[in-house]
Amino acid sequence: MAGILPPGVSEKTFRGFVAAAQNVVGNDYVFLDPKWDLSAYHDQYATTPKAAHQASAAVAPANVEQVQAVLRAARQHGVPVWTISTGKNFAYGGPAPRVAGTVVLDLKRMNRIIEVNEKHAYAVVEPGVSYFDLYRHLQKIGSKLWIDPAAPGWGGVLGNLVDHGAGYTPYGDHLLMQCGMEVVLADGTVTQTAMGALPGSRTTHLYKYGMGPWADGLFTQSNFGVVTRIGIWLMPEPPGYKPYMITYEREDDLHEITERVRPLKLNMVIPNAATTVEMLWETAVQKQKRDYYTGKGPLPDSARKKIREDLRIGVWNFYGAAYGPPPIMETNLEVIRDALVSIPGAKIYFDEDRVGDIAWEYRKQLMRGVPNMTEYNLMNWIPNGGHMDFSPISPVTGEDAMRQYHLIRDRCNKAGFDYIGEMLVGWRDMHHIFCLLYDLGDEDQKRRAHALFEELIAAAAAAGYGEYRTHLDFMDRIAGTYNWNGGAQQKLHQKLKDRLDPAGILSPGKMGIWPQGHHPGAVS
């Protein structure tokens, strides 16, 4: 039987739950150590000991009825479950539960693509459908619809969306593109939200809000229900696509790039995620650090210079794309050229200029919705590479961009790490993604990475910046920074939690929300 038990649950009760779960999903789909290897549910990149997020078991239902029955068993035995879809939420904890001993509710067997609607341009998927799955299906049926994958294509369409993930096509704000949702509540009730609540509804995936309160957002980044189906709008293939890359010579160019990108995004001259990528991100997807530097600490300037020459990249590298009929693309590209290539030292590149460039190639794919795994090469920058992403949101101003860059880069270098970062400008905000990369075989590095992360949270919050998503280990701490008026919003979340999941069986601790009486303290 399991080496670890859910908190406060006796071995006997746990056995009762396991038997009930086996009865529901069959013995083959209840995973227990040592017979099955629960390491599949580890966070492979954890800076804390594996035991901190060790599951006691995993249960993989095949359909909604089985989800309902598993939740019934969970309620009856007081066993909490941690919901995952494809479990590829790496950098943020992967498939591992927040609290050791929680049973993973693994939905990856529920992998039906329930509908592709070519006419109204949407798909309806279950949690186990990855970007690769959906892409291949659309290709197979000859669809003219694009998907918007997260950078690693093995991610789940539904899971990424409910975690507020972003992509690189004009449909990059995944939650914005959500329409229609099926949720199993903690008490086992299946609910269709919004228009889907009308029996025989013809507009479930066409109009987002329904009538009355719009509750869909409640079931994202939360532990208020188990989302078992989602509608997602897909972009019709445009008549033309022209990606481009602009390189910049100086670190301080980030200020001017950001200032000039803001109106281009606001006016949709750049319709997709306008992404400014620091040189080491570009480098790490295709080179190893030891190719340039074998010393300790961050890469020195001399090596950085050599890399820029070798790879023909800038200190900052801006990616965007034009979409549409040629006259519209040309008009927009002219504006972009005027605005962004006029910064001294800037050079613009198109597809024919970057043949064989790995970094260019995968961004070109992402911006037109072709999933791939290239970005995972980042992990090969150093031996035994692991990573966590620190993801503060920024206004789209040069001042804020520079402030966030220095806030992170300076602390990161001081702690001995390379700054590997990118900034994605959405309609009015900027996602700053700092990929904190460390050697998983080096306990000291892991400790330092963990400490750096904590330091960054505090420094960002003090400067007015909050994170949009985070790793298991920092959920309480970050939730604790959203504490305006005595933590009014968090108290609201807790109230909703208490009402919707009084037994506290759903994903305890997710985003800092806990079952009543089980809060381990505001800061972990």
142 vs 295, which CB is nearer to its own copies?
A: 142
Query: Which residue in 229, 262, 368, 469 is the catalytic one?
Result: 469
Does 457 interact with its own copies (rule: CB under 8 A)? no
32 vs 460, which CB is nearer to its own copies?
A: 460
Does 120 interact with its own copies (rule: CB under 8 A)? yes
Does 500 interact with its own copies (rule: CB under 8 A)? yes
Tell me which residue of 74, 123, 22, 477 sits closest to 83, measured CA to CA.
Answer: 74
Choosing from 396, 424, 440, 456, the residue that interacts with its own copies (CB under 8 A) is: 396
Does 374 interact with its own copies (rule: CB under 8 A)? no
Q: Is the peptide bond before 80 cis (omega within 30 degrees of 0)?
A: no
What residues contact 415, with CB distance under 8 A and at least 6 apart? 448, 449, 451, 452, 455
21 vs 396, which CB is nearer to its own copies?
A: 396
Judged by CB under 8 A, the stretch of 202-210, 272-280, 368-376, 515-523 that binds its own copies is 202-210
Write out the E strands in 57-106.
Answer: 57-59, 81-84, 103-106
Does 272 interact with its own copies (rule: CB under 8 A)? no
Q: What is the distance between the alpha carbons of residues 41 and 94, in angstroms, rounded to a whole number? A: 8
Q: Are 475 and 512 in contact (CB under 8 A)?
A: yes
Q: What is the distance between the alpha carbons of residues 227 and 163, in angstroms, rounded to a whole number? A: 11
Tokens of 98: 């927040």
468 is catalytic: yes
In 3-state terms, what secondary structure has residue 126?
coil
Does 175 interact with its own copies (rule: CB under 8 A)? yes
**How far apart, in Å, do the first and last CA atoms of the chain sit?**
29
Per-residue x/- mask for its own copies, residues 409 to 428, rule CB under 8 A? Answer: -----------------xxx
Q: What is the distance between the alpha carbons of residues 351 and 110, in angstroms, rounded to a whole number? A: 38
Choosing from 169, 317, 470, 507, the residue that interacts with its own copies (CB under 8 A) is: 470
Per-residue x/- mask for its own copies, residues 145 to 164, rule CB under 8 A? Answer: -------------------x
- Cβ of residue 53: shortest distance to its own copies, in angstroms? 19
Query: Which residue in 41, 92, 293, 362 is the catalytic one?
Result: 92
Q: Is the peptide bond before 236 cis (omega within 30 degrees of 0)?
A: no
Angle at 462 between CA 523 and CA 252, to 5 degrees: 130
- Cβ of residue 69: shortest distance to its own copies, in angstroms? 16
Does 217 interact with its own copies (rule: CB under 8 A)? yes
Does 196 interact with its own copies (rule: CB under 8 A)? yes
Q: Classify residue 19 by its DSSP letter.
A: H
- Cβ of residue 59: shortest distance to its own copies, in angstroms? 23
Neighbours of 384 (CB within 10 A): 12
100 vs 329, which CB is nearer to its own copies?
A: 329
Does 445 interact with its own copies (rule: CB under 8 A)? no
Choosing from 13, 22, 63, 483, the residue that interacts with its own copies (CB under 8 A) is: 483
- Cβ of residue 298: shortest distance to its own copies, in angstroms? 27
Q: Are 333 and 244 in contact (CB under 8 A)?
A: yes
469 is catalytic: yes
Does 492 interact with its own copies (rule: CB under 8 A)? yes
**Half-sphere exposure for 186 (CA within 13 Å, toward CB):** 26
Q: What is the distance between the alpha carbons of residues 7 and 17, in angstroms, rounded to a whole number? A: 14
- Cβ of residue 340: shortest distance to its own copies, in angstroms? 17
Does 349 interact with its own copies (rule: CB under 8 A)? no
Beta bridge partners of 235: 146
- Cβ of residue 297: shortest distance to its own copies, in angstroms? 31
Choosing from 40, 113, 190, 370, the residue that interacts with its own copies (CB under 8 A) is: 190
Does 393 interact with its own copies (rule: CB under 8 A)? yes
323 is catalytic: no
Choosing from 38, 134, 280, 513, the residue that interacts with its own copies (CB under 8 A) is: 513
Q: What is the distance between the alpha carbons of residues 85 and 123, in angstroms, rounded to a whole number? A: 17
Choosing from 4, 19, 496, 503, the residue that interacts with its own copies (CB under 8 A) is: 496
251 vs 259, which CB is nearer to its own copies?
A: 259
- Cβ of residue 517: shortest distance to its own copies, in angstroms? 17
What residues contact 342, with CB distance under 8 A and at least 6 apart? none
Choosing from 68, 86, 143, 193, the residue that interacts with its own copies (CB under 8 A) is: 193
Tokens of 363: 């961004």
Tokens of 160: 């990424």
Angle at 426 between CA 392 and CA 388, to 5 degrees: 35
What residues contact 136, with CB distance under 8 A and at least 6 apart? none
Active centre residues (catalytic): 92, 468-469
